[in-house]
Amino acid sequence: MLFVSFVAISFPVIRALLLDAAGTLIDLAEPVGEVYARILSRHGIELPAAELERRFRRSFATLPPPDFARAPTGDEAERAWWRSLVETALDRPLADDAFAALFDHYAQPEAWTVFPEVAEVLERARTLGWKLAVVSNFDRRLHAILAGHGLAGHFEAIISSADAAARKPEPAIFHHALRQLGVAPEQALHAGDSLPLDVEAAVSCGIRAIHIDRPLTTLRAVFEGS
């Protein structure tokens, strides 16, 4: 008779849940191209929404990260990066009032929707005693957006790349979150929609991670095995 011995692998108990924002907690209420076409047309720039969508996504994927070292604050570095992104997409300089109109639009909670399971997941995480933090490549507009949707009160910390002066996949933004929550990497779980920026980056810091791959995988996956 063959006997097989199994060795149980013990993982530390989860004490903290780190969450990405856009694509994980919140989503755009309208396609970027439609918003840009509508707002830019008021400032004398006429381009089709589909063309603006294509240009924006290309610029978003290829533009180097903000230069935090040269900016007075992380938020100013992020704002300068967004302006560079828009001007790269348009292939032209943009007047201050036109950029401000675009930037301010996405500061409004109404420009974003909350994924349907988010409130339920946050409530359950808190009943488990988990500390919660947002860790997102975003500027400080994120704080008001989450507050406007009634989500901010769930979190011990909301850490944008503007707050940390570092963007994922850099370890610094994760270390910033762990310090804020007072937990070790092995006690944390991170969930986000980007494999390189969320999953691989978190794992490289010793943090367990889950890929939110909608519609196949939603935030409810954080409780599997907990």
What pLDDT digit, counting tens, does each position of 143-157 carry? 999 999 999 999 999
**pLDDT tens-digit profile of 149-198?**
999 999 999 999 999 999 999 999 999 999 999 999 999 999 999 999 99
Q: Are residues 94 and 169 in the same domain?
A: no
Burial readout 80-114 (b: 16 or more C-beta within 10 A, e: otherwise): ebbbbbbebbbeeebeeebbebbeeebeebebbeb
pLDDT at 5 (0 to 100)? 36
- Cα 28–110–38 angle (5° rounding)? 70
Query: At residue 10, does pLDDT exceed 70?
Result: no
Q: What is the pLDDT of residues 51-104, one digit of tens each?
A: 999 999 999 999 999 999 999 999 999 999 999 999 999 999 999 999 999 999
In which domain, by residue range, is 155 found?
A: 16-27+113-223
Helix (H) / strand (E) element for 83: namely: helix 74-90
Which CATH number does the domain housing residue 39 bear? 1.10.150
Q: Residue 134 sits in a domain of what CATH number?
A: 3.40.50.1000
The number of folded domains in the chain is 2
**Do 180 and 212 share a domain, yes or no?**
yes
Please give the pLDDT value at position 147. Answer: 98
Q: Are residues 128 and 179 in the same domain?
A: yes
